[in-house]
Amino acid sequence: MTKLAISNGEKTKTKAFPKWPYSNERELELVGEVFSEGNWWRMAGDKVKTFEKSFAALHDVKYCIGVTNGTHAIELALATLGIGPGDEVIVPAVTFISTGSSVIYANATPVLVDIDPETFCMLPEAFEKAITPNTKAVIPVHMAGHACDMEKICAIAKKHGIKVIEDAAHAHGGQCSNKMLGSYGDMAIFSFQNGKIMTCGEGGALITDNEELYQRAYLIHGVGRPDGDRIYEHKVLGSNYRMNEFSAAILIAQQERLEDMNKKRHENALLLDSLLQDIEGITPQGRKDYATLITHYMYMFYYDSNYFNGLSRKDFVDYLIAEGIPAFISFPVLSETTFFKNNDFNGHLGKFEQSALNDLSNSKIIAENVVWLPHYTLLGDNQDMTEIAQAIKKIQDAVNNK
């Protein structure tokens, strides 16, 4: 029997995955322009404006605002919509913490709803069931770049007068029914954190097709000052969410190769699906027909320990890492994080109570059983995909033959 790498055996992975973040001379060229021009601030330079224009065009909307990070983009969207005390915002129960914590920072109440057991995206029927007279917005999350069912979600929201903020932090360039993600809702947000499929280390964007929302968001993101202000006129209460010129320069280069990378990840995800289909206990994230372009920010799959001699998910991930395959466990259910359980919201919210009407059974199963691989593993070649599958099979065989 082959010895596991975690027990000092030979690693399955024979070569490194493609590096991430990826950059080349294009990033250096554009950042060099910022250096040489000496305009490092968006109010003096042109890189942020250039990026905003191209990123808006990519997603078929009129307006984009580059911001400091994806978390701030959600906070900005909520502030722009006037979300505050007494308001409720519906969010999926399994997502990165910022989707829920941003609602709390707005002094509003996040309402958690269940997600689809195949796609890990918000269930439209769960969203509609959770609506109350206090519901002001919904934040569907395109999990790992798989589109939520935006046509159904938007129809429900319109019927009830609810604003839609798409959390597209994983979905740069993704599509639903051949329509760009980010162009369905009243607003959408993106993240450019170090691990995202476009990155500048830390950064974010808010996009919209609504001029009134854009103008208000622009004021808020620039501490309330209108474009070109020279007299310190603060028209609204705002904060400083402005992107700098260096970040925008990097993102211009990152966007230029996004289409090719999305295609590569899609092809490799399909290949990996086929390689894993005969390994019992491993079930990849599903696909719906309406998800016409999946960006695959993460390659997610269910892990069933019953087919691995009871090996815990944590140990399975550790074994994978030892074999040279980077891996992580799923996001938890938001309400199971420490500060939610302790009702420790720094004065932004009183006691959080999950409604008994909102069944989170799918979310709990996903949070307890899903594993994911980072997107750069899907930028490799056929050998990389084969070695991922071989590593999983190697672990299964080893633990089942103890």
How far apart are the C-alpha atoms of 397 and 274, rounded to whole Å? 19
pLDDT the model gives residue 402: 78
What residues contact residue 315 under an 8 Å CB cut-off, 6+ apart? none
pLDDT the model gives residue 353: 85
Residues in the chain: 402
Residue with tokens 């080893």: 398
Residue with tokens 């505050």: 84
Q: Which domains does the chain have, with CATH numbers?
A: 5-18+258-400 (3.90.1150.10), 25-256 (3.40.640.10)
pLDDT the model gives residue 1: 59
User: By three-state DSSP, how is residue 55 classified?
Assistant: helix
pLDDT the model gives residue 261: 98
Given strand 370-374, what is the order of strands in its sheet? Answer: 282-284, 298-303, 370-374, 328-329
pLDDT the model gives residue 227: 87
Whole-model pTM? 0.97
What is the CA 267 to chain-centroid distance, rounded? Answer: 20
Sign of CA dihedral 123, 128, 132, 137: positive
pLDDT the model gives residue 8: 95
Percent of the chain having pLDDT more than 70? 100
pLDDT (tens digit per residue) in 343-366:
999 999 988 988 777 899 999 999
Q: Which residues of the chain have pLDDT under 50?
A: none
| Helical pair 245-256 and 25-37, crossing angle rounded to 10 deg | 150
First to last CA, the chain: 10
Q: Which helix (H) or strand (E) holds 180?
A: strand 179-180
Give catalytic residue positions.
196
